[in-house]
Structure 1
Amino acid sequence: MISKVVFIGYQPLTEKTKEDFYFQNLKDKNIEIEYWDLSEIYFKGILNNQLKDNFIFKINSFSVLESFIKRQNRLDTLFLSNITFEYRVLTLYRILSKYKCKTSFFARGALPFHVATSRIGNVFLKFQKALDINLLLVFLKNKYAYFLKKSGIVKPHDLIFRAGINGIETIGVGSDIENKTSKIIDINSFDYDKYVKTKDSERLLINKYCVFLDEYFPFHPDFEMLKIKTIQPKEYYENLNRFFDLLEKKFNVEVVIAAHPKADKYREKDFFNKRKSFFNKTAELTRNSEFVIAHCSTSISFAVLNMKPILTLTSDSIKDIMPNYYNLIAHFSKILNSHMVNIDEIESAEIVLDKPNCIRYSEYTYRYLTSVKSQNLVSSEIFTETILSL
């Protein structure tokens, strides 16, 4: 029987994390919990502490991590990681495997990443990796990580909580191994659960409006953390607002902003020419909108679940500076059959609002958001009942 759950993350604990991983539900069932924060190992000096509590432990070295593991009753403890497996975190997973820790993973938040399906496309990708020494090194290191998992030196997760068929991909390198060997429990994505909870919410705005699912592109802290070059804010917001002006005139709607949760600068400065911005209201805003504007945010889920038309946005600077994101945006547009527009070039007459493609939206729902088993259930209850049954 599991009497304790240890959550392992490489970012400081936040209230959202506590909510997303059902801390209170476990406490209510008298399950002891701890949060082991490894941010000082992986992102030293970059991330600031969010919360302080006696169940939060800051771990700054792998030797300290080992000492913490040794102190646990490992028969009664479940170690729940939200760290995707790849070469960069290999030491962590080798330590967990060394001490035969019972591990679990929340396989949620998968995105429809573009992969080459043709033989020519695969050859081209391999050729590209061979020419780029950094890509080649990452590729080879992850092949090594895969070999260690395949050979059992790194133990696959014992238990997977999966949202949608493709959720398994968020495990990272070797997810196909977990797909065959791990116990898989179907749950819902964060957004699906939020969609269900807000079905009866009141309308936030009286007038007709469309909603922009903001991703905080120029300032997102994860880009700094992962050393990803991003676009210039002045050009981005100027072109975005020009596009919003065109939309408001063409469709006779108000554009409102579903602000990214980490968009702290929006609280200090107006980036959207006095347009209304809302924090933590994406589900409610999407439900009553006329249509949705987005790049490739996971919150597109709300547009899919509410059967809303989607305008997919890109720009020259995104294509030039962030090509991987450009490819993701283009792939999102393709699989959802939405109209993709370049905000640097678009004119009013060129804006087309396609009707939702019911088949594509349904496929997206069951690939990335929920399952036939879990769609009418509450994820927190599935999770806690599973823990109590172990």
Structure 2
Amino acid sequence: MKPVIYIISTPLSLRDYRRYGIEELQNKNVDVDIVDISSLIYPDKYKGNNVRSCDFCNVSYVSKVQDLDLFINQRRVDHVYITIGFLPKRILFKLMKKGSKVAVQMWGPIPLAHVGTHRFISRIKKPIVITKKIMTKLYEQVKYGNIEYDYYLSVDEVKNKQNILCHSYDYYLHLLDANNVKNQSNSNSSVVFLDQMLPYHPDFSLSGIKNTINSRSYYQKLNDYFSFVENKLKVRVVIAAHPRSIGVENYSELFQGRDVIIGMTNQLISEALFTITHYSTAINYSVINNKKIVYLLSSELISIGMKNQLELMAFETDSEIVNIDITDGFYQGNNNNNNNKYKEYKKKYITQRCDDITNGQIIINELLVNN
């Protein structure tokens, strides 16, 4: 069996360690190395101590091009590289130069609404940085041409590519946790909010987009709505906290004493009456567990240009939208989820496979053994 080297461009969390398939491969005695190049890709954000060390597995950290070259030259040609998402072409070229095979593990597809050009431009926080990134990509296109990955690990087939169909990360984790998660279809003890930590989400700064959400106003509206639901339906609202919220000081206090739980989203949804969200991709768990979804709109969501995205996701799942700026628009719990819509959504965005083979085993069978 061929050894594997994972190339990651953001610091590895325990959640990533599981959902990327690294833990499963190591448990099945696959020789796996992990290389963190986040300091090389995002030097302004990840410098020295800003890249947290990993305390649950061995990770090699590379911050200079010369160090990456040295690492590659010390590895055998038969290693298979798996990159998490697409890397700059200059990095991909280095990985392929020695003759090793390279696969890209793609994020699962999501419904993606069009954002108007004028709105996008108005949200740009650092136009010089954005321009520099565009120029870098153009330069790499000229220098390296149409260099391509050897394999695409994806939920849906990429046209004219060598595809290996995998499950979405959420469905993969659902399979891994199948013995611990039981769908409580008749449960009515809780409603789950799929938190996105919108006022603090790091992707805004990474992408150079200005975050205009007022934290105080945003959380006050959320808590008012949660209180309404709790009083009206005689249930408790539980917060399925965003995984990265662990880095925000006193984050749980923002939800006025409600249970704030990290790392148990699938379990929480399986036991819930329904789920509440803005446009979180964790609705995959709602679809998998056949739970109703209510989408929350507010002026804060409109201010960051996500109204179209929210409306598209509601359409794709045939679900209700509630504007929490309007007090008489609160959800009454009357809509029924459309099973046909959920089946379509699952096939488009969660998995197209007809089996429940785990992603780690798929990688072994179709990438490490048969290629």
Bin the TM-score by the shorter chain: 0.7 to 0.9
CA deviation string 1:321-359 (max 9, x = no partner): x11x33322221121121112222242566564211222
Alignment of 1:21-60 (within 5 A): 21-44=20-43, 45-46=45-46, 47-51=50-54, 55-60=58-63
CA deviation string 1:81-125 (max 9, x = no partner): 00325xxx2321233344443101222332111249xxxxxxx75
Q: Kindly indicate whether residue 201 of structure 2 is the aligned counterpart of residue 220 of structure 1.
A: yes
Q: Kindly indicate whether residue 172 of structure 2 is the aligned counterpart of residue 193 of structure 1.
A: yes
Q: Which position in structure 1 is the counterpart of 2:351? A: 370
Aligned equivalents of 1:128, 1:285: Cα separation in 2: 35
CA deviation string 1:262-317 (max 9, x = no partner): 21237565111211222211111111211110111111011111221111012112
| CA gap 1:109/1:254 in 2 versus in 1, 3 angstroms | same
| Letter in structure 2 aligned against 1:195 | H
| CA gap 1:108/1:362 in 2 versus in 1, 3 angstroms | same
**Which of 250, 269, 277 is the aligned partner of 2:260?**
277
Q: Which position in structure 2 is the counterpart of 1:171? A: none
Q: Kindly indicate whether residue 81 of structure 2 is the aligned counterpart of residue 79 of structure 1.
A: yes
RMSD of the TM alignment (CA)?
Answer: 3.3
Deviating more after overlay: 376-385 vs 199-208: 199-208
Aligned equivalents of 2:20, 2:120: Cα separation in 1: 39
Secondary structure at the residue paired with 1:218? Answer: helix
Q: Contact 2:21–2:359 at 8 Å: present in 1 too? A: no
CA deviation string 1:228-248 (max 9, x = no partner): 332121111101001112222
Q: Kindly indicate whether residue 318 of structure 2 is the aligned counterpart of residue 337 of structure 1.
A: yes
Q: Kindly indicate whether residue 255 of structure 2 is the aligned counterpart of residue 252 of structure 1.
A: no
Q: Which position in structure 2 is the counterpart of 1:67? A: 70
Q: Contact 1:13–1:35 at 8 Å: present in 2 too? A: no
Aligned equivalents of 1:159, 1:224: Cα separation in 2: 31
Q: How many residues align?
A: 358
| Letter in structure 1 aligned against 2:299 | D
Alignment of 1:195-344 (within 5 A): 195-196=174-175, 197-198=177-178, 201=181, 208-230=189-211, 231-264=213-246, 265=248, 269-320=252-303, 322-323=304-305, 325-344=306-325
| CA gap 1:284/1:27 in 2 versus in 1, 3 angstroms | closer
Q: Contact 2:81–2:100 at 8 Å: present in 1 too? A: yes
Aligned equivalents of 1:300, 1:380: Cα separation in 2: 23
Aligned equivalents of 1:283, 1:72: Cα separation in 2: 38
Q: Kindly indicate whether residue 120 of structure 2 is the aligned counterpart of residue 157 of structure 1.
A: no
Q: Which position in structure 2 is the counterpart of 1:359? A: 340
Q: Contact 1:246–1:347 at 8 Å: present in 2 too? A: no
Q: Which position in structure 2 is the counterpart of 1:381? A: 361
Q: Contact 2:83–2:104 at 8 Å: present in 1 too? A: yes
Q: TM (normalized to structure 2)? A: 0.83
1:252 Cα deviation from its structure 2 partner: 2.9
CA deviation string 1:158-180 (max 9, x = no partner): 122222x2xx5xxxxxxx5xx31
Alignment gaps of 5+ in structure 2: none
Q: TM (normalized to structure 1)? A: 0.80
Q: Contact 2:20–2:169 at 8 Å: present in 1 too? A: no
Percent identical across equivalent pairs?
23
Q: Contact 1:339–1:353 at 8 Å: present in 2 too? A: no
Q: Contact 1:105–1:159 at 8 Å: present in 2 too? A: yes
| Letter in structure 1 aligned against 2:181 | S
Aligned equivalents of 1:355, 1:57: Cα separation in 2: 49
Q: Kindly indicate whether residue 160 of structure 2 is the aligned counterpart of residue 180 of structure 1.
A: yes
Secondary structure at the residue paired with 1:67? Answer: helix
CA deviation string 1:162-214 (max 9, x = no partner): 22x2xx5xxxxxxx5xx3132x2222122213334346536899862211011
| CA gap 1:162/1:33 in 2 versus in 1, 3 angstroms | same
1:48 Cα deviation from its structure 2 partner: 2.7
1:370 Cα deviation from its structure 2 partner: 1.1
| Letter in structure 2 aligned against 1:370 | T
Aligned equivalents of 2:370, 2:210: Cα separation in 1: 46
